[in-house]
Structure 1
Amino acid sequence: MIGWTKTGVLLAVTALLAGATPLTSSAHAEHHHPSACPLPVFGPGSRYHPKIDPGDFSPNVTNPWFPLKPGRTLVSTGVKDGEKALDLFAATSRTRVIAGVRTRVVEDRLYLNNILEERTSDYYAQDRCGNVWYFGEDTAELDSHGRVVSREGSFHAGIDGAQPGVFMQAHPQLGRKFRQEWYAGHAEDVFWLIARNTTVTVPRGTFHHALRTAETTALEPDVLDNKYYVKDIGQVAELSVRGPTEQLRLVEIIS
Structure 2
Amino acid sequence: MKIQIIPCLQDNYSYLIIDEENNIACVVDPSEADPIIEYLENTQIQLKFILNTHHHYDHVGGNQKLKEKYGASVIGYEGDRERIPGIDILVSDQETWIHKNFEAKIIHVPGHTLGHICFYFHKDKSVFTGDTLFSLGCGKIFEGTYAQMFDSLMKLKELPKNTKVFCGHEYTIQNSRFCIAHDENNKNLKTKVNDIKIKLKTGGSTIPSTMKDELECNIFLRSNNVETFSKLRYLKDNF
TM-score by length of 1: 0.26
Specify which structure has the higher proportion of helix. 2
Greater per-residue strand proportion: 1
* TM-score normalized by the length of structure 2: 0.27
